[in-house]
C-alpha cells in the first residue's frame, strides 16, 4: 500500500502489509519489515533496516547521514527492531565508520523530537520522552526510561531499568535500576515503581537498595564499593549491577 505521492526507490525491499503514506521517501538500500507503517512525510534513506510492525509518524527521519565530522560517506547502517514506535520528528542517524551501525531495539517508544545520534545502541523496551537527545556512541540498556528534554553526553551508558528524569544532563554512566535527575545529575534512589511493575522480587529489590547505599557511601570510591558488593551479592540483578560497574567506561560512573 504505497500512496501515489510517495517516492520509493525500485531497489528498496518492502515486505508485505507495509503502508507508505503521502510524500514519504524511501531510499535505495532500505529494507522495511512486514506490517510496518510510514504515515506521511517520513524520510528513510541510507543502509537502513526497519523491523516488522513498526509505526513511524509524520516527519520522522531514519538513516540520515551522520552529523559527525569524521563521516566521509562510507557504508554505515541504521537498524530498527520490531514493534517500535517513532513519533513525530524523531531523527535517527546512521553510524560513522565502515559497516558500523546505529541500533534501536524491539518495542521501543520514542516520543516527538527524540534524537538518536550516530553509533548509539538502544536496547529493547526503551522509552524516550519528548525532546530527549542522545549524542554519539551512547548505550541505553533494555527498559530504561529517558525523560523529556534530557541530554545524554556521547559515550555514556545508561543501565537496564534506570530512569533519567526530565531535563537532566547526563555526563556519567547511570547504573541499572536507579533513578537519576538534575543538572548536574544526581542519584535519587531506586526506580522502585519500574522495578515493581517489571516483577522484580522483594529480595532482588532489597539487594539493589543495599548496593545503592554501598555505591553512594561517601567513605568509599567505586572500586571499594564493587569489592563490597561482590562479597555480598546473591541475586541476578545484583550480579548485573556489579558487571555494569566493572565494564569498561569512557565516562566513569555517576557518583
**For position 142, what pLDDT does the model report?**
98
pLDDT at 255: 86
Q: Please report which helix (H) or strand (E) contains residue 249, including its range.
A: none
The predicted model scores a pTM of 0.97
Q: Who contacts 73 (Cβ-Cβ below 8 Å, separation ≥6)?
A: none
Whether 226 and 177 share a structural domain: no
State the pLDDT at residue 173.
98
Is there a single domain that holds both residue 119 and residue 157?
yes
Asked if 187 and 179 count as a contact pair (C-beta separation under 8 A), the reply is yes
Q: Could you list the residue range(s) of the whole structural domain that residue 230 is in?
A: 196-246
48 and 152 part of one domain: yes
Do 206 and 177 fall into the same domain? no
Give me the tens of pLDDT residue by residue for the chain, a chain 255 residues long.
999 999 999 999 999 999 999 999 999 999 999 999 999 999 999 999 999 999 999 999 999 999 999 999 999 999 999 999 999 999 999 999 999 999 999 999 999 999 999 999 999 999 999 999 999 999 999 999 999 999 999 999 999 999 999 999 999 999 999 999 999 999 999 999 999 999 999 999 999 999 999 999 999 999 999 999 999 999 999 999 999 999 999 999 998
119, HSE (Cβ side, Cα atoms, 13 Å): 18
Q: Starting at the edge strand that comes first in sequence, how are the strands of the sheet with 61-64 ordered?
A: 7-8, 25-26, 43-44, 61-64, 91-93, 115-116, 133-134, 151-152, 169-170
**Each residue's pLDDT tens digit, 2-22:** 999 999 999 999 999 999 999
Task: Tell me if 126 is assigned to some domain.
Answer: yes
Residue 44 counted as domain residue? yes
Residues 184 and 207 in one domain: no
The residue count of the chain comes to 255
Q: Which residues contact 97 (CB under 8 A, 6 or more apart)?
A: 74, 76, 119
Number of structural domains, the chain? 2
Same domain, 200 and 186: no
Q: What is the pLDDT of residue 254?
A: 95
- Report the pLDDT value the prediction gives residue 159, as an integer from 0 to 100: 98
Last residue of a domain, one of 151, 166, 190: 190
Read off the CATH number of the domain in which 48 is found: 2.160.10.10
In a domain, residue 255? The reply is no
Same domain, 52 and 95: yes
Assess whether 212 and 170 both reside in one domain.
no
2 located within any domain: no
Q: Note whether residue 253 is domain-resident.
A: no
3-state secondary structure of 240: helix
Q: Final residue of a domain: which of 152, 168, 190?
A: 190
- Cα separation, 25 vs 170, in Å, equals 34
Amino acid at each position: 500500500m504505497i500512496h501515489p505521492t510517495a517516492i520509493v526507490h525500485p531497489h528498496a525491499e518492502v515486505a508485505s502489509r507495509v503502508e507508505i503514506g503521502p510524500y514519504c521517501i524511501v531510499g535505495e538500500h532500505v529494507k522495511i519489515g512486514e506490517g510496518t507503517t510510514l504515515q506521511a512525510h517520513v524520510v528513510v534513506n541510507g543502509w537502513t533496516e526497519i523491523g516488522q510492525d513498526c509505526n513511524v509518524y509524520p516527519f520522522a527521519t531514519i538513516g540520515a547521514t551522520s552529523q559527525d565530522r569524521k563521516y566521509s560517506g562510507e557504508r554505515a547502517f541504521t537498524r530498527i527492531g520490531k514493534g517500535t514506535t517513532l513519533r513525530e520528528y524523531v531523527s535517527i542517524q546512521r553510524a560513522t565508520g565502515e559497516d558500523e551501525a546505529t541500533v534501536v531495539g524491539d518495542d521501543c517508544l520514542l516520543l516527538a523530537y527524540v534524537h538518536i545520534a550516530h553509533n548509539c545502541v538502544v536496547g529493547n523496551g526503551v522509552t524516550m520522552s519528548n525532546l530527549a537527545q542522545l549524542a554519539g556512541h551512547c548505550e541505553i540498556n533494555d527498559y530504561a526510561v529517558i525523560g523529556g528534554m534530557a541530554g545524554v553526553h556521547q559515550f555514556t551508558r545508561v543501565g537496564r531499568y534506570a530512569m533519567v528524569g526530565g531535563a537532566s544532563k547526563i555526563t556519567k554512566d547511570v547504573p541499572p535500576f536507579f533513578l537519576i535527575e538534575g543538572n548536574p545529575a544526581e542519584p535519587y534512589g531506586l526506580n522502585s515503581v519500574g522495578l515493581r511493575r517489571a516483577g522484580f522480587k522483594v529480595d532482588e529489590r532489597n539487594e539493589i537498595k543495599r548496593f545503592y547505599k554501598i555505591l553512594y557511601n561517601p567513605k568509599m570510591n567505586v572500586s571499594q564499593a564493587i569489592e563490597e558488593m561482590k562479597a555480598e551479592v546473591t541475586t541476578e540483578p545484583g550480579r548485573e549491577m556489579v558487571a555494569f560497574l566493572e565494564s569498561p567506561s569512557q565516562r566513569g560512573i555517576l557518583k
